[in-house]
Structure 1
Amino acid sequence: MTASGQFTIALAQCTVRSGAVADNRERARTMIARAAARGADLVALPELFTAGYFAFDEYERASEPLDGETAAMVAEAAAAHDVAVLAGTIVEDLSATESAPTPAEEGLANTAMLFDAAGERRLVYRKHHLFGYESAESEVLVAGDAVDVADIGPFTIGVTTCYDLRFPELYRTLVETGATLVLVPSAWPYPRIEHWQTLSRARAIENQLFLAAVNGSGSFPDATLLGRSTVYDPWGTPVASIGDEAGLVVADVDPSQVSRVREEFPALADRRQ
């Protein structure tokens, strides 16, 4: 973070290819290094950036525990570049993870991990809402039920994943837990551009926080990711964005804007339970 209090968020809109876990992981490593070189304090990777969301047949082969190869790579890169990193999501093998905080003791989960700039894991989030519309996700994965936040620099950070954007009550829970920035790793496909942009903006506006929605780039046999990773401020204004090509979104934000907006327009204080 700069001396002026500015915090830099980088969204790594990686190309994700089916059946190419090692290559996808290496692209993510490169993007972390590029983000750090541009002064990022935090870099976020997209949903299932190693396996590819739509490669359902690859989930079992690509699965790994929380302390697997992907976690090791991200922790090492975070510490080496002095940058916090959201390891988008991975396919987690729950049976290989000790004390997995989930109702099921085995199976596969869509799991995000947040590491601080020392490479220490600070947060684990397992996707709550599994997509059922023309998708096998709800058939092959186990849903999570825990909501947590972690302090990284000046922000209290929460995580939700892709389809979770359609369920505003989850974001209210994060606000009540103290979240001032929510990271949303995603694999959002064409043609639902308006949904992606409108829901992301709405979650920022109604909860008066920063929301950073990071999508992937690339095509699968039945879908093409629409990209458009974007950082929104607490007014819902896009701070920085990109098209559908692979690349970095870098946004310099003022963390104090959250408290200023909540004081200037105290909608959250007017809530009736």
Structure 2
Amino acid sequence: MKLALAQLQIEPGAVEANLSRAAEAVAAAAADGADLVVLPEQFVVGFFAFDDYPTHAAGLNEPIFDRLAELAVENSVGLVAGTTVEDLAASAEAGYDVPADSGYANTAVFFDRDGDQRGVYRKHHLFGYESAESELLVPGERLDIVDFEGLKVGITTCYDLRFPELYRRLVDRGVELIVVPSAWPYPRVEHWKTLGRARAIENLCYVATTNGSGTFPEADSTLCGRSTVYDPWGTTMASVGDEPTRLAVEVDPQRVQEIRERFPALGDRRD
């Protein structure tokens, strides 16, 4: 399966421009033969544009998600739609399983080639350090695993990388590829690279960390980019700098199984 990461230029609050860049990136990745495309965290409004969150929040049945589903269908790809701000009350009213009947969540949706919502992941660990995320949003609870093209795919988001127990739960459910939409800023570049690699090494699975690109003056923050795919040994398969770009690699579920059989460290775990 060909996996593509779209490291998008994200402009704070510029929803239509951000969506246009996402659409162009998905189309370009599909033209290059991608089967699954992953977008960054809060690629629609920008992670640090907290004042804009309520304005652009939407339920999972509302038009923004229809547009993203159409993007998957038009390009015949699986699409992990980075994350967007979900209006939990609207989703609850539409019959979705939500962690709270009101408030907002940092939500990634996995669309298959037919545009169907195959998985929903709401960021579990909300960043509280000089950030309004933990004040504005409700943490998620679900851990959907999506079987796509013979590969079991899980989703986590950005700050989740610092909490390895979450990844153990995914491995216990058979995950072979974990995609990590993110909005990781400077100066914590070494953390970004080390944590992504560590999650791959300790869980013997592919980890794909998909960051954005851009500066947020209101938060005095710049995203560090460096989207990367690690193989189940933790070896870097592909990585980029901090400018808007794409990368693509072939991932193989058989390689995950071969490495786990060759080095069966997961079987030596003690709770």
TM-score (norm 1): 0.96
Task: Tell me the residue number matched to 2:97.
Answer: 101
What letter corresponds to residue 220 of structure 1 in structure 2?
F
Task: Tell me the residue number matched to 2:248.
Answer: 250
In the TM superposition, residue 255 of structure 1 has moved relative to its aligned partner by: 2.3
Q: What does the per-residue CA deviation read over 1:146-188, in whole Å, with 9 as the maximum and x for residues that have no partner?
A: 1110101021111000000000000000011111100100000
Task: Tell me the residue number matched to 1:4.
Answer: none
Task: Tell me the residue number matched to 2:204.
Answer: 208
Q: Which SS does the other structure have where 2:214 is aligned?
A: strand
Task: Tell me the residue number matched to 2:179.
Answer: 183
**Is the counterpart of residue 225 in structure 1 residue 231 in structure 2?**
no
**Structure 1 CA distance, aligned partners of 2:99 and 2:260?**
36
In the TM superposition, residue 101 of structure 1 has moved relative to its aligned partner by: 2.8
In the TM superposition, residue 130 of structure 1 has moved relative to its aligned partner by: 0.3
Structure 2 portions without partners, runs of 5+: none
In the TM superposition, residue 20 of structure 1 has moved relative to its aligned partner by: 0.4
**Structure 2 CA distance, aligned partners of 1:192 and 1:54?**
16
Give the conservation status (yes or no) of the 8 Å contact 1:24–1:49: yes
Aligned counterparts, 1:114-129, within 5 A:
114-129=110-125
**Structure 2 CA distance, aligned partners of 1:260 and 1:69?**
42
In the TM superposition, residue 253 of structure 1 has moved relative to its aligned partner by: 2.4
Q: Which SS does the other structure have where 2:139 is aligned?
A: coil
In the TM superposition, residue 120 of structure 1 has moved relative to its aligned partner by: 1.0
Task: Tell me the residue number matched to 1:3.
Answer: none
**Structure 2 CA distance, aligned partners of 1:249 and 1:73?**
23
What letter corresponds to residue 198 of structure 2 in structure 1?
A
Task: Tell me the residue number matched to 2:77.
Answer: 83
Question: Percent of pairs identical after alignment?
Answer: 57
**Structure 1 CA distance, aligned partners of 2:75 and 2:105?**
28
**Structure 1 CA distance, aligned partners of 2:96 and 2:127?**
22
Task: Tell me the residue number matched to 1:173.
Answer: 169
Task: Tell me the residue number matched to 1:33.
Answer: 27
In the TM superposition, residue 70 of structure 1 has moved relative to its aligned partner by: 2.7
What letter corresponds to residue 50 of structure 1 in structure 2?
V
What letter corresponds to residue 155 of structure 1 in structure 2?
L
In the TM superposition, residue 254 of structure 1 has moved relative to its aligned partner by: 2.5
**Is the counterpart of residue 13 in structure 1 residue 11 in structure 2?**
no
**Structure 2 CA distance, aligned partners of 1:101 and 1:191?**
37
What letter corresponds to residue 210 of structure 2 in structure 1?
V
Task: Tell me the residue number matched to 1:259.
Answer: 257
**Structure 2 CA distance, aligned partners of 1:103 and 1:258?**
32
**Structure 2 CA distance, aligned partners of 1:41 and 1:10?**
8
Q: Deviating runs (4+, > 4 A) in structure 1?
A: none
Structure 1 portions without partners, runs of 5+: 1-6
Give the conservation status (yes or no) of the 8 Å contact 1:29–1:73: no
Task: Tell me the residue number matched to 1:24.
Answer: 18
- Residue 62 of structure 1, aligned match among 11, 31, 56: 56
Task: Tell me the residue number matched to 2:136.
Answer: 140
Give the conservation status (yes or no) of the 8 Å contact 1:183–1:213: yes
**Structure 2 CA distance, aligned partners of 1:175 and 1:254?**
16
**Structure 1 CA distance, aligned partners of 2:69 and 2:89?**
22
TM-score (norm 2): 0.97
Task: Tell me the residue number matched to 2:159.
Answer: 163
Q: What does the per-residue CA deviation read over 1:209-263, in whole Å, with 9 as the maximum and x for residues that have no partner?
A: 0011100000001100000001110000111111000010111222211000000
In the TM superposition, residue 100 of structure 1 has moved relative to its aligned partner by: 3.9
Give the conservation status (yes or no) of the 8 Å contact 1:101–1:146: no
**Structure 1 CA distance, aligned partners of 2:57 and 2:109?**
14
